[in-house]
Structure 1
Amino acid sequence: MQYEIKQQDKFKYIEKGQGEPLVLLHGLFGALSNFKDLIEHFSQNYKVVVPMLPLFELDIFHTTVGGLEKFVHKFIEARDYKNIHLLGNSLGGHVALVHILKHPERIKTLTLTGSSGLFENGMGDSYPKRGDKEYIRKKTELTFYDPAMATEELVNEVFEITNNRLKVIKIISLAKSAIRNNLGEELSQVKQPTCLIWGNNDTITPPFVAKEFNRLIPNSELHFIDKCGHAPMMEVPGEFNVILDQFLAKHAEPAATLA
């Protein structure tokens, strides 16, 4: 599925559908393909927005969780979105959390899936090996419960990133920033309804992380999906979409129906 990538000033993004904005933030090795099923399903009732996070475009001093949050904030302001349903996977969840803590006023709900912010086993535990495709394949497979989800196309995407010295430096910078930026003490300040959707077999942000988020975020609900790893919206999109649909239905304005 090819999407038209729109541009406004320095921001590149996808926007599909009408209704309240559902803004999706991808992770460290994220791509549009991560959200394909989610975009198709939810653009029937929401304005689904995917900003391209500048993981490799920021200068090294701003290649941090905080630097990405500033970018997201400026993007939301530039597009003047309101009543936002904000969703983040992995590092994108961490960025979403920092954003909602700093700028809660435009955010209506929060959804986290495999989010960092408390604890994660990331690439940071063993730095990406350049030129070793089998190592990259094994690392990519660990993202999923079913290793077959690590398609050749996906492995090639990650391999291309890790073969670029500057990109590797920035990946390490982001991974270290995520580990340093622990939000445990601040999570009680999140007031928005929060949906936690987690793979029961996530080895990067294991189930105990989801339970801790659930304990620390006051108005949160937790859903586990069996036989599922770190990216539920990719691996089990049907189950993921049902959970998210039910959560959003409780908190969203009904979409305008066409006469």
Structure 2
Amino acid sequence: MGGEASGQGAEGLLGLEGDGGEFAGRGAGAAADGAQGVPLGERGADGGQGGVEGPAGLDRIADLAGFYLDLLERRGLRDVLLVGSSLGGWIGAEMAVRDALRPAGAPALVGGLVLIDAVGIDVPGEPLVDVLGLDARGLAELSWHEPERFLVDPATLPAEELARRRGNFATMRALAGDPYMHDPGLRDRLREVRVPVLAVWGGSDRIATPAYGAAYARSFPDGRFTVVPGAGHLPHLERPAEVHALLDAELARHSRESGTGARRA
């Protein structure tokens, strides 16, 4: 994590990134300007993620969720709106579950959750496509609404960037390769989450389909689902203005409602 989550209390917004680029500094809108991104692909030898020094043994998504919750608590952040893309969405969902199960009287660290084409659950009839063995063209065909616009020939990449991308895939394989991109028990645990959840989905996502996303949203007691037309698995990159408008609206709603929702007795 390359720095602190922005703001305190209801104003905190933390972006949990998959292998798809930053929330901060992309597109337009207050949410984009204020978000602190957490890249998942850059794991240090000490077990940290994206520049955050952490203990060794962060080998599963659940481990990362626990680590980031502890980080929020140590930094005094409360009622944070989590925004997670792809694998980052899975981490955010696990964080929300764990926060909901903290002891009575403990302060709420997570105040809301936005999932952007997240993975992490098993939906019968909507299997996640295994991307780890695909070449660049195959991955682009599944990831983007306009594959030719975003396709990059690996032969044209500098060695440093190529190594970074390979490292990202190695991290994904280590964290989520078996079982592939999901925790078999997570979907049932999502019923424990009492904060508002918005699932934002690219209408052309062929890795985690919109039907998968709609089922994800229905798994939460207070889940909503919206589709971004003309976007694939990374709508915040393909349609940044539309996605950041949704994030701005959700952050405004979160700021208005913080402190009025369900809290631990």
Please classify the TM superposition score into its range, dividing by the shorter chain length: 0.7 to 0.9
What secondary structure is seen at the aligned counterpart in 2 of 1:115? coil
Q: Deviations over 1:110-159 (max 9, x none)?
A: 100110012422434x3x6xxxxxx2344245321112442649984773
CA contact (8 A) 1:141 1:149 kept: no
Distance 2:229 2:207 in 1: 15
Output the aligned Cα RMSD: 3.1
User: Which residue of structure 2 aligns with residue 202 of structure 1?
Assistant: 205
User: Which residue of structure 2 aligns with residue 12 of structure 1?
Assistant: 2
User: Which residue of structure 2 aligns with residue 143 of structure 1?
Assistant: 143
User: Which residue of structure 2 aligns with residue 219 of structure 1?
Assistant: 222
What secondary structure is seen at the aligned counterpart in 2 of 1:103? helix
User: Hey, which of these two has a bigger chunk of helix by percent?
Assistant: 1
Read off the aligned partner of 1:207 and give its amino acid letter.
Answer: P
User: Which residue of structure 2 aligns with residue 96 of structure 1?
Assistant: 92
Please show how residues 114-133 of structure 1 align to structure 2 within 5 Å: 114-119=117-122, 120-124=128-132, 126=133
Distance 2:199 2:85 in 1: 10
**Number of residue pairs the alignment of both structures matches:** 230
Distance 2:175 2:87 in 1: 9
CA contact (8 A) 1:93 1:112 kept: yes
Deviates more, 1:62-71 or 1:50-59: 50-59
Distance 2:255 2:153 in 1: 36
User: Which residue of structure 1 aligns with residue 183 of structure 2?
Assistant: 181
User: Which residue of structure 1 aligns with residue 25 of structure 2?
Assistant: 36
Residue 192 (structure 1) shift: 0.5
What secondary structure is seen at the aligned counterpart in 2 of 1:93? helix
Going from structure 1 to structure 2, the CA distance change for 1:153 and 1:103 (only over 3 Å counts) comes to farther
Q: Which ranges of structure 2 fall in alignment gaps of 5 or more residues?
A: 48-54, 101-107, 123-127, 258-265
Distance 2:217 2:5 in 1: 30
CA contact (8 A) 2:31 2:247 kept: no
Q: Do residues 229 (structure 1) and 232 (structure 2) align?
A: yes
Read off the aligned partner of 1:12 and give its amino acid letter.
Answer: G
Q: Do residues 85 (structure 1) and 81 (structure 2) align?
A: yes
CA contact (8 A) 1:25 1:51 kept: yes
Sequence identity of aligned pairs in percent? 22
Q: TM-score with structure 2 length normalisation? A: 0.74
Going from structure 1 to structure 2, the CA distance change for 1:168 and 1:237 (only over 3 Å counts) comes to closer
What secondary structure is seen at the aligned counterpart in 2 of 1:186? helix
User: Hey, which of these two has a bigger chunk of strand by percent?
Assistant: 1
What secondary structure is seen at the aligned counterpart in 1 of 2:143? coil
Distance 2:120 2:85 in 1: 11
Residue 67 (structure 1) shift: 2.3
Distance 1:116 1:168 in 2: 15
Residue 187 (structure 1) shift: 1.4
CA contact (8 A) 1:122 1:175 kept: no
Read off the aligned partner of 1:51 and give its amino acid letter.
Answer: V
Going from structure 1 to structure 2, the CA distance change for 1:181 and 1:158 (only over 3 Å counts) comes to farther
Read off the aligned partner of 1:94 and give its amino acid letter.
Answer: W
Q: Deviations over 1:83-109 (max 9, x none)?
A: 211110000000001111012421111
Residue 60 (structure 1) shift: 8.7
Distance 1:88 1:236 in 2: 16
